[in-house]
Structure 1
């Protein structure tokens, strides 16, 4: 014993065993038992394959296995078994018996040509595909019998893992040959990265499919991985579009048998049937019976409803109210053809509750729209009032009392109370403060503190207040503002480019004029040389060509300048057209002017605002932007 003693591990590693020859079906088990018997690590043992015997038999279920004799197969006949008829016969059995010699490895690794080759045999879950997994950095050196030794190394690894050899491994010879060739060329081979190589493949079973019922309409609008979850949405309405797959019944199907690389037969289990449809559908849903499934497909837009045991698609729905506790937000889509009627009309309650979102094709709201609520539809009506923080969007929008934000095409409002309205054509019966922006605006009764901005027409039937601002702005629509900005940017670029071309033209014109006499002289000499058959000097020819190139370049940039000037003219005309309509725009007051009210016309080019305040008591009705005799613009009362 040394100064500090010796460990048990050191003694077990250094211990040697006598070479032992055995016959076995399970080499791994024998190695473990031998190591345990001699109190050593299994990793310190190795073995040599002396003989491999392969056996087969046909054993029926009703037969006693001991009565059926195993029949040995010659190696040359093994591959004849590797076909579907034999291998996938459930009564067919196959096994291998190995005669091996077990012994201790050399402690220093001498004599082991694969000591630096770090690889392992692995398989997929069914053991039907077997791979040799080679670790990055593994290396081997060439030897006279490398190909034989490498094949033996792989077969030993397969046997350790319980994988049959010489069957299911037709690809192995080619793989071993390729690796051997690479080793022979350079004398060695090193793997720069991990590599998995298929070394055996048998018959993969097909999994049994249990029946299933998939309600696709339930999962139509699930939140994505990065989407924010809307806890106010209950999925109260399951909206569908024509041709949507609503429900799918997956038919049960028994799998196909297989056999793995250990020789084990893999019988698929019987499918479980627990989801057979117990519902019916009406004429709004189409049934498609396929070999693998039954599909239930929408024949029209709307929302899916279960009436008793029958699924149907409807388009109209009545609800008492929409709020967090009952329905949650309702989103069926603008193109869903869903029409929603919200019945709550108590003035003290909200038909659309706080923070709710509604998106349907059409909606009729009998009562109020609450704070932070959002309604989006093709057509919407509100018989109550909208909260100051609410938002409504619709192509066709009708509101009784409006305090929030309304955006749409044609908008009709009975009473506007400091709300905001943005549309194409807006009609307001009574405006009591607020902001209106549209192409055409019509106000039956206008009180005070109203800001109305139109691109074409503002008409007031009766004026009862003051501090109103009526504005004509031809760039009211966003797309027009965007178009003008793009126009101006392109005009600036064109003008800059035209100036640069003009400078370049002046430079080339001066060069040509300064060299014209020299050019004519060279030209005369070249004509003389040509007529007299004298070889023309290269220097003269180069000067002549240089001058011609300058003339050609000047013509090219002249053409470029003309093209850009034409485009500039077109864009300038387009810019002017943005404000052409302003001269056709009108502000009309069918009543007398009372109090202080301001008319504003916004010009595009030059970008200025003209303001005018009609005299109190004036009966002037129609106001327009006109150009006076001095060429100046002014706001003036005109005849209609």
Structure 2
């Protein structure tokens, strides 16, 4: 075999003389020979003449003599007991013939792009075949392929015939594919495990994980909320708060180069020095120590002890002090904000507070948001502030309030959206609820309810009191969805009826002929005469028409029933509107309006009480079929 290298100075081609060497490092020998000929190492190849394997046991820092292992003994050697002995050593010596590659590459390697690589520990060795490679079958292909792999392993310093029990099977399967195809092309990259040593188990260093310090991962386009700094860390019952991972020594291994891999000693620097009280339980096993919450609340660290608390007192909630506080409405955290200065905000501009229960002694600032199950604001709310709580009490309200049971001492052009709403004094604003009670109503108040609006004292005008069955957003959405279904069903019903009409007309026209055919068929049958195929076909066609009409009638009936149900449901949205009342316990003064909104038919009725009128209770009545009016109602008619 011959390959020629060019001399850079003389531009002549010089042949590398075949050289036989014994070495433990074939790659180094190839490099040295290439350097002596002033050519690239890639231009050289080699044949394997012999492989010798040697082992020894190192005792008491004294190295014993290397002993050769016969090929037969290699099989017995391949066991973990020997390889995991740190004093066991193994090496291989290779007798090879190094020579120049031919200018025209041999037929195996010409388009067969292969490589041998290993993982980081060198415990797993892989054969990679590049996509686009191709190879032609020839006699002794399997032997040449195995020889190619072994040479690549030797170049990479990987032991041969050690840890590679799977290699013959890999070579055999690929060779079989080539033999069957004769010309095999690899359309995708392929990777095959060809050697596997003993992978070491990594050492585990100790670690302390504080799970309660929840670092929220931001979405790609989400901005960082610098106002939320985690003043308190809320926790839930049975939540894992802290975990101490115990150190664990790793297990040794030996890679495919024969090297013993000693595991590192575990690093210990996070052992717990803190204590916990009864609000946190400790669960320990062989791997870790877990600290688990026994109750809801927030976690605090006091006197080297972690505890779960439920109550927190702060002077104010602001960007400078606490930042936003978001423990959640189900956290059982109760907060008290003490700031009472009228010219300061207890909850500052842009702050968000989310707890189970909160009592705010002072004011809620602009663009602030308070969310809780129970909330009390003894100061006033800014017009851009939002308060949400099932049970809510506000002294002076100018912002937006949402809840179930809401009590406001003075409403000053703010908005209230609840179920049971009570306002001591309304000086303008919008009130929505199932039932609304206003002790003193001045001017420019819009009150919208589904069942009742009651005013004790009316001291102003330009007020609008509305009964609207679709006040709740869910009811409006449900009605819209119901209406869409009605429109769809009405269209479907129209199409079905038109098709039924057409099919019944065709059936009617075909009936006389069908009767005649039926008579003839009965005659044929009675006399034992074979019935003509054309008569049988027409008879069956008529039967199909009858079945179609029957099915269409069934579909029409089902669609009509569904439409009736939806129409009844639409009417149910306002079924209680006749029980709804607007009540004014005082005389009517100035200009005011009472409105009732009907769903079916969709219309709004307006009634303007006469100034000075003492009529107190108003409701909706049906004066004639399909005609409605707002009328004064007797007191005893109120449920």
Tell me which interval the TM-score lies in, with the shorter structure as reference length: over 0.9
Alignment correspondent of 2:122: 127
Per-residue CA shift, 1:89-108, capped at 9, x if unaligned? 11110000001111111233
CA distance in 2, matches of 1:399, 1:103: 95
CA distance in 2, matches of 1:138, 1:542: 65
Alignment correspondent of 1:257: 252
CA distance in 2, matches of 1:299, 1:572: 53
Equivalent residue runs for 1:337-416 within 5 Å: 337-416=332-411
Deviation at 1:224, TM superposition (A): 4.8
CA distance in 2, matches of 1:221, 1:147: 57
Deviation at 1:8, TM superposition (A): 5.8
Alignment correspondent of 2:137: 142
CA distance in 2, matches of 1:370, 1:347: 11
CA distance in 1, matches of 2:356, 2:473: 25
Deviation at 1:513, TM superposition (A): 2.1
Alignment correspondent of 1:58: 57
Q: Quickly say closer, same or farther: Cα 1:294–1:531, change in 2 above 3 A.
A: same
CA distance in 2, matches of 1:69, 1:386: 91
CA distance in 2, matches of 1:575, 1:374: 37
Asked if 1:44 is matched to 2:43, the reply is yes
Deviation at 1:357, TM superposition (A): 0.8
Q: Secondary structure at the match of 1:515?
A: helix
Deviation at 1:79, TM superposition (A): 2.1
Unpaired runs of 5+ in structure 2?
A: none
Deviation at 1:517, TM superposition (A): 1.8
TM-score by length of 2: 0.96
CA contact (8 A) 1:13 1:41 kept: no
Per-residue CA shift, 1:100-120, capped at 9, x if unaligned? 1111112332x4531322222
1:95 to 56, 81, 91: 91
Alignment correspondent of 1:487: 482
Deviation at 1:17, TM superposition (A): 1.7
Q: Secondary structure at the match of 2:576?
A: helix
CA distance in 1, matches of 2:132, 2:477: 62
Equivalent residue runs for 1:164-563 within 5 Å: 164-219=159-214, 221-224=216-219, 227-563=222-558
Deviation at 1:367, TM superposition (A): 0.5
CA contact (8 A) 1:12 1:40 kept: no
Deviation at 1:633, TM superposition (A): 0.7
CA distance in 2, matches of 1:567, 1:310: 65
CA contact (8 A) 2:619 2:632 kept: yes
Alignment correspondent of 1:3: none
Ranges of 4+ aligned residues in structure 1 off by more than 6 Å: 10-13
TM-score by length of 1: 0.96
Deviation at 1:360, TM superposition (A): 0.7
Q: Secondary structure at the match of 2:226?
A: coil
Q: Secondary structure at the match of 2:403?
A: strand
CA contact (8 A) 1:205 1:255 kept: yes
Per-residue CA shift, 1:119-177, capped at 9, x if unaligned? 22111000000111222222222221111111110000000000000010001000111
Deviation at 1:498, TM superposition (A): 2.0
Deviation at 1:298, TM superposition (A): 0.5
Asked if 1:24 is matched to 2:23, the reply is yes
Deviation at 1:557, TM superposition (A): 1.3
CA distance in 2, matches of 1:601, 1:134: 80
CA distance in 2, matches of 1:204, 1:166: 18
CA contact (8 A) 1:13 1:44 kept: no
Deviation at 1:13, TM superposition (A): 9.1
Per-residue CA shift, 1:581-606, capped at 9, x if unaligned? 11110000001101100111001111
Q: Quickly say closer, same or farther: Cα 1:13–1:421, change in 2 above 3 A.
A: farther
Deviation at 1:21, TM superposition (A): 0.9
1:72 to 34, 45, 68: 68
Aligned length: 631
Q: Quickly say closer, same or farther: Cα 1:632–1:187, change in 2 above 3 A.
A: closer
Q: Secondary structure at the match of 1:15?
A: strand
Q: Quickly say closer, same or farther: Cα 1:597–1:11, change in 2 above 3 A.
A: farther
Per-residue CA shift, 1:400-450, capped at 9, x if unaligned? 111111111111100000001111111000000001111111101000110
Q: Quickly say closer, same or farther: Cα 1:36–1:80, change in 2 above 3 A.
A: same
CA contact (8 A) 1:15 1:40 kept: no
CA distance in 2, matches of 1:520, 1:632: 55
Asked if 1:105 is matched to 2:72, the reply is no
CA distance in 1, matches of 2:135, 2:199: 33
Per-residue CA shift, 1:159-214, capped at 9, x if unaligned? 00000000100010001111111111122222222221111100000111110111
Deviation at 1:45, TM superposition (A): 1.0
Deviation at 1:508, TM superposition (A): 2.2
CA distance in 1, matches of 2:380, 2:32: 88
Deviation at 1:63, TM superposition (A): 2.8
Deviation at 1:12, TM superposition (A): 8.1
Deviates more, 1:600-609 or 1:75-84: 75-84
Per-residue CA shift, 1:26-49, capped at 9, x if unaligned? 111111111122221111111111
CA distance in 1, matches of 2:365, 2:117: 65
Unpaired runs of 5+ in structure 1?
A: 1-5
CA contact (8 A) 1:235 1:330 kept: yes
CA contact (8 A) 1:128 1:201 kept: yes
Q: Secondary structure at the match of 2:423?
A: strand
Q: Secondary structure at the match of 2:367?
A: coil
Deviates more, 1:497-506 or 1:615-624: 497-506
Alignment correspondent of 1:609: 604
Alignment correspondent of 2:594: 599
CA distance in 2, matches of 1:538, 1:283: 92
Q: Quickly say closer, same or farther: Cα 1:345–1:9, change in 2 above 3 A.
A: farther
Deviation at 1:14, TM superposition (A): 3.4
CA distance in 2, matches of 1:277, 1:630: 81
